[in-house]
Amino acid sequence: MKESIYTIPISEAFETGGGCPFCRIYSRLEQHFVEYITGPAMMEPDVRIKVNEKGFCSHHYNMTILKNNRLSVALMLQTRLEWLLENMDKGKGRGFSFKKAENSNHEDCFICENISREYKRVIGNAAVVWAKESDFKSLYARQEYICYPDYREIAAVAGKKLKGADLDAFLKITAQLASKRIQELKSDIDAFCNLYDYRNAGKAADEKTAAAIENAVMHLTRAQDC
């Protein structure tokens, strides 16, 4: 695959092998933005304004804490809490922040929002590279699987980058790769449920079957099973 500033992260993720390549891309973006926000960016006024308004989701608050730069986290919390106090409509019922919360989603988080933007860009680049380069088509088809959350993202983004036969072929191979892992998880869940059949009374679950529920939930929610 021809390397460029736009394809190097894609190439690295796909050539690593094992698991879902898009999960590797997502994880790298997540680590990048956590390091970014707990580093020098903490002192950038435009970044602090956005963090004050949005804050982070619980998952990314925990990730910032684990970076062991507690002063950075404390300073961000200090101005975030100040912003909330200033914007709450005290004594007048439902204030600004509460109205905002009614319509919030997972991207009501500075880090989630930045990951989502960059992740969509990378997916779009991957689709374009797939359509243009036969080597990448072969590499793409050799992946172990693509996880369900990534499949949904790819399906949503690909239509903006590809058309006609290219789009159909790209979505077809992506669906095949996504189905591989789902079929494995379904088999494990079936095995777990069958343990409760009276005909299997006393039969012990192997390690894989015992973890079937947790593995399926992790996969479906991108809690990292790949």
Per-residue pLDDT of the chain (226 residues; tens, 9 = 90+): 454 545 567 888 999 878 999 999 999 999 999 999 988 888 888 999 999 999 999 999 999 999 888 888 999 999 999 988 888 765 554 445 454 544 444 447 999 999 999 999 999 999 999 999 999 999 999 999 999 999 999 999 999 999 999 999 999 999 999 999 999 999 999 999 988 887 877 777 788 888 899 999 989 887 655 5
Distance CA 124, CA 155 (A): 10
Specify the pLDDT at position 94.
47
3-state class (DSSP) for residue 156: helix
Helices (H), 43-163: 45-54, 58-66, 70-87, 96-102, 110-132, 134-141, 148-161
Provide the 8-state DSSP code for 43: G
Distance CA 26, CA 188 (A): 26
Specify the pLDDT at position 67.
87
pTM: 0.80
How many CB atoms sit inside 10 A of residue 53's CB?
Answer: 15
Q: For residues 10 and 137, is the Cβ–Cβ distance under 8 A?
A: no
Specify the pLDDT at position 212.
92
